[in-house]
Structure 1
Amino acid sequence: MLNIANTLYAWRREARRFALATVVQVSGSAPLPPGTALAVDTDGTAVGSISGGCVEGAVYDLCQQMLQDGGSPVRARFGYSDDDAFAVGLTCGGEIDVLIQRVEPTEQPHLTTALEEVAGGRPAALAQVVDGPGGLLGRTLSLLGDGSAYDGTLGSEGEDRVVVAQARALLRAGRTARIDVGGDPGTCPRRLSVLIHTHAAPPRMLIFGAVDFAAALSQAGRFLGYRVTVCDARPVFATAARFPHAVEVVVDWPHRYLAATEVDARTAICVLTHDAKFDIPLLSLALSLPVAYVGAMGSRRTHEDRIQRLREVGVTAGQLSRLNSPIGLDLGAHTPEETAISITAEIIAHTHHGTGRPLSNGTGPIHPAHEHPLARETPHFLSA
């Protein structure tokens, strides 16, 4: 539901009643991930999407009915219709489960606080019961800031503690996921399925080398939702005027800046300097860090020389296997802008375990689900 946090926050402040339809599970090829939501208020105004258009009309009608009749939250499943291409169904071939509930102005006041945090661009997580005892279905718990404080309850202190622990981990990773809890008589006896919506700080893209390619890449990275930093040791090139799409432009030796800055498991590091005096100390450090992606620009000859130099300074074979060099996918790119698309395409493929092959050359679902240690379903989700 955090994809429509701004509108929901406004509706809560105006004390509007609304119906909320949330995607809680997907299978096969489905257009939108769990956590995506559509809401309808009492005036019939709709915001958001749960299927990219396939079943919006049917879900809108169910929301209208929920607003009129009230009652407990309900689950609805939508899938592909073989009999009638125009029947309610997902023509992409997948299936989605949707939870539809009515949200009263006075219910779950902590929900307003969580929505306010997200609308303000601050990190927050929202745990929503999507399967379990009827009285708990749709109930939420909010995690604010870095996860050190939470508000609301899912039913018991034991259940809250179990869910909060996993929600903190997912918030740090910036992932929305569905988890199963319960079955432990001592702490959490009831079995619940909980969808944890997260809005984390944007992931970082660190671009080293204040070159024309960096200007195009910083624009592409920002478009994808990254917080972009450009770093170069040469002050004449590393200026804010040359890189208006970067959040910050830093004048420093690349390896020194990387050693001092904060990175995490979502960080993308792009080395565009192709100069050994910068590259070797920088890549030696980058390949030892728990980041999502490390890529380096250069020709095949530059790459071979770079690999040899990295081996000589003690970089292991396992660390070298993490290096994407020459950087980018083979798109036949020539211009800085085309090269930026090539690099970001590789980052997307790497992040979501894509093959980089044309979809027209493959078979099977185009949106496969990937396992995460904490949950069954973990599509990357950064709210708009």
Structure 2
Amino acid sequence: MLDLAADLVPLLDAGVPLAAVTVTAVVRSAPRGVGASLVVTRDARVIGSISGGCVENDAVMLGLDALRTGAVRRARFGFTDDGTVTPIAAGLACGGAVDVVAYPLDESVRPALDAAREGRRASVRLDLDGEPLVLERVAAPRLIILGAGEHAAALCRLGAAAGFRVTVCDDWALLATRERFPDAAEVVVAAPHDYLATLDDADERTAVCVLTHDERLDVPALRAALRMPVGFVGAMGARATVARRAQLLRHAGVTDAELARLHSPLGLDLGGASPEETALSVVAEIVASRHAADARPLREGSAGRLHRGEASSTDAAASCAARSA
């Protein structure tokens, strides 16, 4: 539910009655894990998803019932342990089942939603008829874009859509504007390396992408970024530019070990060339790097779970217990 904060806060501000449906347990396999939520309004507007479509209709009906009655509702959607289909739902395409709870939302969730919308760590404890449910969301991963050209604008849009908290920094105030980067959490006018020197909270979930296209700016910025405890450092440029920049970085004191961390040319080879296609390739490389994935097509993979984030029934039960403690 916290991942829907950007949509829910305006509805709460407008006084729209809301009810959430949240997955509390997973049996065998399901498209989404424990904590996945959708929210419904009285006129059946739906925000979010709990299954990617398999049981959404039943979940919406359950949520509308909770909204109408003001009461907590529980159900299991999918296949039961003996292999039969629950009477409530047609079943999950993956052959598993999910336990869900539906409950009205009130102003008590606002502080957590505000924190989640701002990309900060958020947590809310819900008392649902005497059974506690704790929903948590870690702080959003950070994407720091150095340079404010057209490729940066496209990367900001896609990065924000992918869940990153995006900062754009450029020393040219004419380009680094809120109007050009409405999806950025912050827009900074400063020399990129000077901005990086102010950061004291960068960590392995931070990605730095240098798109300045100016050696006077990108060399000191990369030297600073490669010495920070960030998880990803990338720089855009043609292969000749990359080779020359590597020489300049060595002359600036960057070691071979530090240089080995640099993803440049930046992005996966998707074959596209437009700013949007390039941004997609960059976000894809950042995500693949963060999960130590090889970025192959899923059809070329071996048997087993498609996505590493999917939880087995044991994992899901343990996760639910932890959140309900």
Partner of 2:274: 335
The 3 A distance-change label for structure 1 pair 261 and 63 is closer
Partner of 2:323: none
Partner of 1:98: 99
Single out whichever of 70-79 and 223-232 deviates more from structure 2. Answer: 70-79
Mapped pair 1:21 → 2:16: no
Trace 1:1-384 onto structure 2 (pairs within 5 A): 1-3=1-3, 6=8, 10=12, 20-26=20-26, 30-38=30-38, 45=44, 47-48=46-47, 49-60=49-60, 76=76, 78-79=78-79, 88-91=90-93, 93=94, 95-100=96-101, 112-115=107-110, 117-118=112-113, 121=117, 123=120, 124-127=122-125, 137=131, 139-140=132-133, 195-198=134-137, 200=139, 203-234=141-172, 238=176, 243=181, 246=184, 248-261=186-199, 263-265=201-203, 266-311=205-250, 313-316=252-255, 318-364=257-303, 365-369=305-309
* Alpha-carbon distance, 1:63 to partner: 6.0
The 3 A distance-change label for structure 1 pair 212 and 33 is same
Amino acid in structure 1 at the alignment position of 2:229: P
The answer to whether the 8 Å contact 1:2/1:199 transfers is no
* Alpha-carbon distance, 1:215 to partner: 2.9
Runs (5+) with no aligned partner, structure 1:
106-110, 141-194, 379-384
Give the Cα separation in 2 of the matches to 1:307 and 1:262. 26
The answer to whether the 8 Å contact 2:62/2:102 transfers is no
Q: Can you list the C-alpha shifts for 1:56-101, whole angstroms capped at 9, x where unaligned?
A: 34445666788999999756363599999xx72221x263532325
Q: Can you list the C-alpha shifts for 1:327-369, whole angstroms capped at 9, x where unaligned?
A: 0010112222321222122223334444322234334433332
The 3 A distance-change label for structure 1 pair 316 and 127 is farther
Give the Cα separation in 2 of the matches to 1:70 and 1:327. 51
Q: Give the share of equivalent positions with the same residue, in percent.
A: 39
The 3 A distance-change label for structure 1 pair 94 and 274 is farther
The 3 A distance-change label for structure 1 pair 44 and 218 is closer
The 3 A distance-change label for structure 1 pair 67 and 237 is closer
TM-align CA RMSD: 4.5
Give the Cα separation in 2 of the matches to 1:316 and 1:24. 49
The answer to whether the 8 Å contact 1:23/1:96 transfers is no
The 3 A distance-change label for structure 1 pair 34 and 273 is same
Give the Cα separation in 1 of the matches to 2:10 and 2:195. 40
Single out whichever of 27-36 and 335-344 deviates more from structure 2. Answer: 27-36
Amino acid in structure 1 at the alignment position of 2:155: L
The 3 A distance-change label for structure 1 pair 118 and 332 is same
The answer to whether the 8 Å contact 1:28/1:367 transfers is no
Q: Secondary structure at the match of 1:90?
A: coil
Structure 1 length normalisation: TM-score?
A: 0.60
Q: Secondary structure at the match of 1:294?
A: strand
Amino acid in structure 1 at the alignment position of 2:92: L
Q: Can you list the C-alpha shifts for 1:10-63, whole angstroms capped at 9, x where unaligned?
A: 49x78x796x5311345776433432224578x795744311220234445666
The answer to whether the 8 Å contact 2:288/2:295 transfers is yes
Q: Can you list the C-alpha shifts for 1:179-199, whole angstroms capped at 9, x where unaligned?
A: xxxxxxxxxxxxxxxx53227
Give the Cα separation in 2 of the matches to 1:77 and 1:325. 46
Give the Cα separation in 1 of the matches to 2:222 and 2:208. 9
Give the Cα separation in 2 of the matches to 1:98 and 1:359. 28
* Alpha-carbon distance, 1:307 to partner: 3.6
Q: Can you list the C-alpha shifts for 1:129-162, whole angstroms capped at 9, x where unaligned?
A: 99xxxx853x14xxxxxxxxxxxxxxxxxxxxxx
Structure 2 length normalisation: TM-score?
A: 0.69
Runs (5+) with no aligned partner, structure 2:
320-325
* Alpha-carbon distance, 1:234 to partner: 4.4
Give the Cα separation in 1 of the matches to 2:290 and 2:138. 18
Give the Cα separation in 2 of the matches to 1:299 and 1:95. 48
The answer to whether the 8 Å contact 1:238/1:251 transfers is yes
The answer to whether the 8 Å contact 2:267/2:285 transfers is yes
How many residue pairs match? The answer is 303
The 3 A distance-change label for structure 1 pair 295 and 370 is farther
Give the Cα separation in 2 of the matches to 1:323 and 1:313. 15
